[in-house]
Amino acid sequence: LWDHSRRRLWLARDRFGVKPLYYVHRADGSLWFASEIKALLEAGAVKPAMNVSQLPDYLANHAPSGDETLFEGVRRLPPGHTLVWENGSITISKYWDLSWKDASTDKQPSAVAQREYVEEYTRQFTEAVRIRLMADVPLGMFLSGGIDSAAITAVMSGLVQEPIKTFSVAFAEREANELTYARLVSDHFATDHREVVVSPEDFWKALPSLVWHEDEPLAHPSSIALNFVSRLAAEHVKVVLTGEGSDETLAGYNRYRVTVYNAEYGKRYERVVPSALRGAVRGAIRGLPASSRVRQKAERTFLTRGADLDDLYFDNFAVFGRGAQTALLSPTLRAAVGQVDPYDAYHRALSTTNAISLLDKLLYTDTKTYLHELLMKQDQMSMAASIESRVPFLDHPLVEWVARLPESMKLRGVTTKWILREAMRGRLPNEILDRKKMGFPVPVAPWLRGQWRFLLDEYVLGERARSRGLFNSVEVRRLVSEHDAGVRNHAERLWSLINLEVWQRVFLDGEGRDMQLATASTRSKG
């Protein structure tokens, strides 16, 4: 909003960061802002250069987690904040936050109380979906076959008369194809269903242009699948509903359960077991072969990790944790980033929340960091196909109410999103209700061991990537070698490195959205 009389500009961003808002505040006091970074580059607000201080955050957490971006000088307005520009100065203020004030501490609600909670959740969730059905254009649903999208479909089916238009995406590989579950939901609610199966050729070919659309490296391979299903949906509708936000508000990720139990048992372990014996156990585990499944699982537990949150949660589930980054970064880059904390945004979130329990603190932290990353993926990949996406699970009255629920209504034993499952019991097939959280499977690991191995030669091991001086070549070759041999699955790490190199070529080297990905015949020598 521009106040002409006061010559004052007022910007605001939605509570969760569903929509992006980037800005550049230059030394001369001028303010440039846009919903895409590439617009700021095109306007000449900044010249494209890497913000190396954000590399540790990117390498650990898929993407920069705070207010800065990978572009030097480009920042993003945090969700739930306003920015006022006046007389060349800017003032940033928070207007909304998620609070656990008056949160229930009841660990075992009575059967009557549980039923009332489920009924109220059902009412509020239904209202959240109903509000997002308001549109004067055709509307549909991204259907994955998981409980989140299935629950929205179930509620939609009771609110509209015509068949719901649903859209699904998968890969031909069996381990990356969940269309059976999506079809189960579609058949159950008689939706007007369409699917797209993405070939590895189409997947990799789309990567450079989608990095251009994203402005930063693609955090997850599923971003590409999301764009393909968005393009399919764009042929039939203009608005889609999606299931983002359920995991971060209802404790849907397995890492929450693992961390809560690791913290609980880790404290007991350190209290009861002598230090020398703990060291012996740790040494025995780390003495197992790197390919050992026992070692790989035990290394994620309190048996080898300290009881602090950095070790149990942040480093435990990072792409490249602190130790891995020490080995990966070149001496020059390590000197440049100094003692940068890759979890700084997470620590700041932890220091501001009024949540009491560990689980609620983790949920709050992820709504301020990881969720933002997912919402950027959702917005930019769908808008690249001119599709508007809406997120009922992030209806803020619903989220505020859920935050105050007893923890057992979210996470109960090994059952995640307990209240959502109960609200949908009798409305969704049991095969959907009782499924474990899968994430969206993309077969990057076998691709990079097979016919697409040459991408590692070009974008990870290649001369052009090495010449940037970012990474220790010996460590990079070790990662590739272990992945090749099947000793460890480094697909997530290698995806991160490939994307970073592609991003540099698209934006920093000026190749742009028309950059062509290397082929097996054009790869450079590693």
Residue-level pLDDT, tens digit, the chain, 526 residues: 999 999 999 999 999 999 999 999 999 999 999 999 999 999 999 999 999 999 999 999 999 999 999 999 999 999 999 999 999 999 999 999 999 998 888 888 999 999 999 999 999 999 999 999 988 888 999 998 899 999 999 999 999 989 999 999 999 887 657 899 999 999 999 999 999 999 999 999 999 999 999 999 999 999 999 999 999 999 999 999 999 999 999 999 999 999 999 999 888 888 899 999 999 999 999 899 888 889 888 988 999 988 788 999 999 999 999 999 999 999 999 999 988 999 999 999 999 999 999 999 999 999 999 999 999 999 999 999 999 999 999 999 999 999 999 999 999 999 999 999 999 999 999 999 988 777 778 999 999 999 999 999 999 999 999 999 999 999 999 999 999 999 999 999 999 999 999 999 999 999 998 999 988 766 554 4
Residue finishing a domain among 40, 59, 94: 94
Query: In this structure, are 490 and 380 located in the same domain?
Result: no
Query: In this structure, are 128 and 169 located in the same domain?
Result: yes
Residue-wise pLDDT tens digits, 123-171: 999 999 999 998 888 899 999 889 999 999 999 999 998 999 999 999 9
Tokens of 116: 């009332």
For residue 260, which of 321, 307, 318 has the smallest C-alpha distance? 307
Query: In this structure, are 199 and 135 located in the same domain?
Result: yes
Query: In this structure, are 272 and 325 located in the same domain?
Result: yes
Residue finishing a domain among 28, 62, 94: 94
Between CA 507 and CA 37 the distance in angstroms is 10
Query: In this structure, are 275 and 384 located in the same domain?
Result: no
Residue 138 counted as domain residue: yes
Tell me what pLDDT residue 523 has.
57
Tokens of 462: 């290649």
Query: In this structure, are 13 and 87 located in the same domain?
Result: yes
Residue 84 counted as domain residue: yes
Query: In this structure, are 352 and 383 located in the same domain?
Result: no
Query: In this structure, are 234 and 119 located in the same domain?
Result: yes
Residue 518 counted as domain residue: no
Q: How many C-beta atoms lie closer than 10 Å to residue 475's C-beta? A: 16
**CATH number of domain containing 236:** 3.40.50.620
**CATH number of domain containing 52:** 3.60.20.10
Query: In this structure, are 126 and 168 located in the same domain?
Result: yes
Residue 474 counted as domain residue: yes
Residue-wise pLDDT tens digits, 32-44: 999 999 999 999 9
Between CA 349 and CA 355 the distance in angstroms is 11
Q: How many C-beta atoms lie closer than 10 Å to residue 160's C-beta? A: 12
Residue 102 counted as domain residue: no
Residue 370 counted as domain residue: yes
Tell me what pLDDT residue 291 has.
82
Task: For the chain, state the CA radius of gyration.
Answer: 23
Query: In this structure, are 305 and 384 located in the same domain?
Result: no
Query: In this structure, are 369 and 245 located in the same domain?
Result: yes
Based on the structure, what is the number of domains in the chain?
A: 4
Query: In this structure, are 285 and 352 located in the same domain?
Result: yes
Residue 388 counted as domain residue: yes
Show the domain range for 175.
Answer: 111-251+364-433
How far separated are the first and last CA of the chain, in Å rounded? 52
